[in-house]
Amino acid sequence: MTATSTSFDRIPAKRSIALPLPEVKYESQKLAFPYLLLSTLLFPLMIVFGIIGAAQYIWPTLFLDTLNFSIAREAHLNLLIFWLLLGLMGATYYLVPEEAETEIFSKRLAWIQFAVFAVTGVAAMLVFMVFKQSEGKPFVEAPFYLDVLIAIGAVIFLINIGLTILRSRWTPLLFVLFTGLAGLSLLYLIDLVSFKNLSVDYFFWWWIIHLWVEGTWEMVAAAVMAFVLFKITGVDRNVLYKWLYIEVGLTLVTGIVGTGHHYYWIGTPDYWLPLGAIFSGLEPVPIALMVWDTLRHTPNRQLSAIHRVAWYWVLASAIGHFVGAGVWGFAQTLPQINEWTHGTQVTASHGHFAFFAAYGALIIAAVYLTLPQIRGLRLFGQRRGMWAFWLMNIGMVGMVMSLTVAGVLQTYLWRVLGMDFMVVRDQYLAFWLFWRLLFGGALLAPGVVLFVWDFVSLSIGPAPKVTPAGAPELATS
Partner 1 sequence: MTISQTRNLFILLIVVCIVAFAVMSIDSVRKVSAERTPPVTEQVAAGKAVWQAKNCNDCHTILGIGGYFAPELTKVAERRDADWLKGFMTNPQKTKPGTTMPNLGVSAKEADDLVAFFQWVSKIDTNGWPPKPLVSTSATASSGAASAGQMLVRQKGCLSCHRIDGQGATGPGPDLSKVGKRIGNDLLTRRLINPRDVNPSSTMPATPLTDSERDSIVEYLSTLK
Taking the C-alpha atoms of residue 305 and residue 466, their distance in angstroms, rounded to an integer, is 18
Among 69, 340, 387, 412, binds ligand HEC (CB under 6 A): 69
Segment contacting ligand HEM by CB under 6 A, of 188-196, 223-231, 347-355, 467-475: 347-355
Cβ pair 391, 364 in contact under 8 A? no
Phi, psi of 465 (to 5 degrees): -80, 145
Taking the C-alpha atoms of residue 172 and residue 169, their distance in angstroms, rounded to an integer, is 10
Binding pattern for the stretch 151-190 against partner 1, x by CB under 8 A and - elsewhere: ---------------------x--x---------------
Phi, psi of 337 (to 5 degrees): -95, -45
Between residues 326 and 381, which has the closer beta carbon with respect to ligand HEM? 326
Taking the C-alpha atoms of residue 440 and residue 425, their distance in angstroms, rounded to an integer, is 19
Q: By CB under 6 A, is residue 133 in contact with ligand HEC?
A: no
Taking the C-alpha atoms of residue 242 and residue 248, their distance in angstroms, rounded to an integer, is 10
Among 34, 105, 142, 261, binds ligand HEM (CB under 6 A): 261
Cβ pair 276, 264 in contact under 8 A? yes
DSSP β-bridge partners for residue 380 = 17
Taking the C-alpha atoms of residue 255 and residue 51, their distance in angstroms, rounded to an integer, is 32
**CA-to-CA dists, residue 357 to 135, 395, 397, 408, angstroms:** 28, 12, 10, 22
Taking the C-alpha atoms of residue 400 and residue 349, their distance in angstroms, rounded to an integer, is 5
Q: By CB under 6 A, is residue 134 in contact with ligand HEC?
A: no
Residues shown for the chain: 477
Count, residues near ligand HEC per rule CB under 6 A: 4
Between residues 330 and 380, which has the closer beta carbon with respect to Fe ion? 330
Q: By CB under 6 A, is residue 87 in contact with ligand HEM?
A: no
- The one-character DSSP state at 260 is G
CB of 184 to Fe ion, least distance (A): 15
CB of 35 to ligand HEM, least distance (A): 17
Binding pattern for the stretch 190-229 against partner 1, x by CB under 8 A and - elsewhere: ----x-xxxxxxxx-x------------------------
Among 70, 179, 347, 477, binds ligand HEC (CB under 6 A): 70
Binding pattern for the stretch 291-320 against Fe ion, x by CB under 5 A and - elsewhere: ------------------------------
Amino acid identity for residue 456 in this structure: V
For residue 313, count other CB atoms closer than 10 A to its CB: 29
Among 30, 352, 375, 378, binds ligand HEM (CB under 6 A): 352
Taking the C-alpha atoms of residue 260 and residue 275, their distance in angstroms, rounded to an integer, is 6
Among 67, 358, 400, 406, binds ligand HEM (CB under 6 A): 358
- The one-character DSSP state at 264 is S
**Binding residues for ligand HEM, per CB under 6 A?**
47, 50-51, 53-54, 73, 76-77, 80, 138, 209, 213-214, 261, 280, 283-284, 325-326, 329-330, 332-333, 338, 342-343, 347-348, 350-352, 354-356, 358, 360, 437, 440-441, 444-445
**Binding residues for Fe ion, per CB under 5 A?**
210, 214
**Binding residues for ligand HEC, per CB under 6 A?**
68-70, 422
